[in-house]
Chains A and B, each alone.
Chain A
Amino acid sequence: MNSVNAKQNDSLLRFMTCGSVDDGKSTLIGRLLFDTKTILADTLNQMERTSKKRGLDAVDLSLLTDGLQAEREQGITIDVAYRYFSTGTRKYIIADAPGHEQYTRNMVTAASTANLAIILIDARKGVLTQTRRHSYLAHLVGIPHIVVAVNKMDLINYDQATFEKIKSDYLVFAEQIGLQHSGRDIKFVPLSALNGDMLVDRGESIPWYEGPTLLELLEMAPAAHSEINEHFRFPVQFVCRPHASDDPELHDFRGFMGKVESGFISIGDNVTVLPNGINSRIKSIKLGTQELSEAITEESVTLLLEDEIDISRGDMIVKTGQFSDPVKQITAMVCWLSETPLSTARTYVIRHTTRESKAKIAEISYKVDVNSLEKIPTEGLNMNDIAKVSFKLAQPLMVDSYRVNRATGAFIIIDETTNNTVGAGMII
Chain B
Amino acid sequence: MTTQNKQTLSHLDWLESEAIHILREVAGQCSNPVLLFSGGKDSLCLLRLAEKAFRPGRFPFPLMHIDTGHNYKEVIDFRDQRAQELGERLIVRSVEDSMKRGTVVLKSVDESRNKHQSVTLIEAIEEFGFDCCIGGARRDEEKARAKERIMSFRDEFGQWDPKNQRPELWNLYNARTHKGENIRAFPISNWTEMDVWQYIERENLGLPSIYFAHKRQIVRRSGGMMPVTDITPAKPGELIEEILVRFRTVGDITCTAPVESDADTVGKIVLETATTTITERGATRLDDQTSDASMEQRKKEGYF
Binding site for B on A (CB under 8 A): 1-5, 8-12, 40-43, 46, 50, 65, 67-70, 78-84, 86, 90-91, 93, 105-106, 108-109, 112-113, 223-226, 229-232, 237-238, 240-242, 245, 247, 250, 253, 255, 257-259, 263-264, 287-289, 296-300, 313, 322, 337, 351-354, 406-407, 410-412, 414, 419-421, 424
Chain A CB within 10 Å — which of B170, B201, B276 has the most?
B170
Known A69-B296, A253-B56, A296-B5; contact A411-B144, beta-carbon cutoff 8 A? no
Known A67-B147, A226-B6; contact A12-B20, beta-carbon cutoff 8 A? no
Q: How far is the CA of A151 from the CA of B177 in the complex (A)?
A: 44
B198 in the interface, Cβ–Cβ < 8 Å? yes
Of all chain B residues, which has the CB nearest A264?
Answer: B5
Is A412 touching B139 in the complex (CB atoms < 8 A)? Answer: no
Is B176 touching A300 in the complex (CB atoms < 8 A)? Answer: no
Of all chain B residues, which has the CB nearest A223?
Answer: B8
Q: How far is the CA of A320 from the CA of B161 in the complex (A)?
A: 46
Partner of A300, one of B21, B51, B55, B201: B21
Of all chain A residues, which has the CB nearest B272?
Answer: A3
Q: How far is the CB of B273 from chain A (nearest CB, A)?
A: 8
Q: How far is the CB of A411 from chain B (nearest CB, A)?
A: 7
Is A225 touching B57 in the complex (CB atoms < 8 A)? Answer: no
Given contacts A3-B267, A300-B16, 11 further A-B pairs with CB under 8 A are A2-B267, A9-B10, A43-B279, A112-B170, A226-B6, A229-B1, A230-B5, A257-B24, A296-B8, A296-B9, A407-B170
B137 in the interface, Cβ–Cβ < 8 Å? no
Is A300 touching B53 in the complex (CB atoms < 8 A)? Answer: yes
Is B24 touching A11 in the complex (CB atoms < 8 A)? Answer: no
Q: How far is the CA of A9 from the CA of B267 in the complex (A)?
A: 18
Residues on B with C-beta less than 8 A from A65 are: 146
Partner of B278, one of A41, A263, A299, A412: A41
Q: How far is the CA of A150 from the CA of B190 in the complex (A)?
A: 29
Is A298 touching B292 in the complex (CB atoms < 8 A)? Answer: no
Residues on B with C-beta less than 8 A from A46 are: 292
Known A253-B56, A287-B52; contact A84-B147, beta-carbon cutoff 8 A? no
Of all chain A residues, which has the CB nearest B198?
Answer: A5
B100-111 vs A, Cβ < 8 Å mask (1 yes, 0 no) = 000000000000
Is B170 touching A259 in the complex (CB atoms < 8 A)? Answer: no
Is A3 touching B270 in the complex (CB atoms < 8 A)? Answer: yes
B166 in the interface, Cβ–Cβ < 8 Å? yes
Residues on A with C-beta less than 8 A from B163 are: 70, 78
Residues on A with C-beta less than 8 A from B239 are: none
Residues on A with C-beta less than 8 A from B172 are: 351-353, 410-412
Q: How far is the CA of A313 from the CA of B25 in the complex (A)?
A: 10
Is B9 touching A414 in the complex (CB atoms < 8 A)? Answer: no
Binding site for A on B (CB under 8 A): 1-18, 20-21, 24-25, 27-28, 51-58, 60, 139-140, 143-144, 146-147, 162-163, 165-172, 174, 176-178, 181, 189-190, 192, 194-195, 198, 201-202, 267-268, 270-271, 274, 276-279, 282-283, 292-293, 296-297
Is A297 touching B5 in the complex (CB atoms < 8 A)? Answer: yes
Sorted from nearest, which 4 A-B pairs have the closest CB atoms? Answer: A42-B282, A288-B52, A300-B20, A419-B176
Q: How far is the CA of A230 from the CA of B4 in the complex (A)?
A: 8
Residues on A with C-beta less than 8 A from B283 are: 42
Q: How many A-B residue pairs have CB under 8 A?
A: 219
Q: How far is the CA of A9 from the CA of B296 in the complex (A)?
A: 36
Residues on B with C-beta less than 8 A from A70 are: 162-163
Q: How far is the CA of A237 from the CA of B90 in the complex (A)?
A: 25
Partner of B14, one of A67, A68, A298: A298
Partner of A412, one of B10, B17, B143, B169: B169
Is A231 touching B57 in the complex (CB atoms < 8 A)? Answer: no
Q: How far is the CA of A49 from the CA of B296 in the complex (A)?
A: 20
Is A5 touching B202 in the complex (CB atoms < 8 A)? Answer: yes
Is B21 touching A3 in the complex (CB atoms < 8 A)? Answer: no
Q: How far is the CA of A1 from the CA of B202 in the complex (A)?
A: 7
Q: How far is the CB of A127 from chain B (nearest CB, A)?
A: 28
Residues on A with C-beta less than 8 A from B292 are: 46, 50, 69
Is B270 touching A4 in the complex (CB atoms < 8 A)? Answer: yes
Is B4 touching A229 in the complex (CB atoms < 8 A)? Answer: yes
Residues on B with C-beta less than 8 A from A419 are: 174, 176-178, 181
Is A225 touching B147 in the complex (CB atoms < 8 A)? Answer: no
Show 13 A/B contacts (Cβ-Cβ < 8 Å), sorted by A.
A3-B267, A4-B198, A42-B282, A70-B163, A109-B169, A113-B169, A263-B5, A296-B5, A299-B9, A299-B13, A300-B17, A351-B172, A407-B171
Partner of B176, one of A4, A108, A299, A414: A414
Partner of B11, one of A90, A225, A300: A90
Q: How far is the CB of A271 from chain B (nearest CB, A)?
A: 14
Residues on B with C-beta less than 8 A from A353 are: 172
Is B28 touching A313 in the complex (CB atoms < 8 A)? Answer: yes
Is A81 touching B53 in the complex (CB atoms < 8 A)? Answer: no
Residues on A with C-beta less than 8 A from B51 are: 288-289
Q: How far is the CA of A352 from the CA of B170 in the complex (A)?
A: 11
Residues on A with C-beta less than 8 A from B58 are: 242
Of all chain B residues, which has the CB nearest A237?
Answer: B24
Is B170 touching A406 in the complex (CB atoms < 8 A)? Answer: yes
Q: How far is the CA of A70 from the CA of B297 in the complex (A)?
A: 11
Q: How far is the CA of A40 from the CA of B278 in the complex (A)?
A: 5
Partner of A84, one of B139, B169, B293: B139
Is B162 touching A12 in the complex (CB atoms < 8 A)? Answer: no
Is A4 touching B271 in the complex (CB atoms < 8 A)? Answer: yes
Q: How far is the CB of A398 from chain B (nearest CB, A)?
A: 15
Q: How far is the CA of A109 from the CA of B24 in the complex (A)?
A: 22
Residues on A with C-beta less than 8 A from B171 are: 113, 259, 407
Chain B CB within 10 Å — which of A67, A229, A287, A407 has the most?
A67
Q: How far is the CA of A379 from the CA of B23 in the complex (A)?
A: 40
Is A108 touching B282 in the complex (CB atoms < 8 A)? Answer: no
Q: How far is the CA of A353 from the CA of B173 in the complex (A)?
A: 9
Q: How far is the CA of A230 from the CA of B162 in the complex (A)?
A: 37
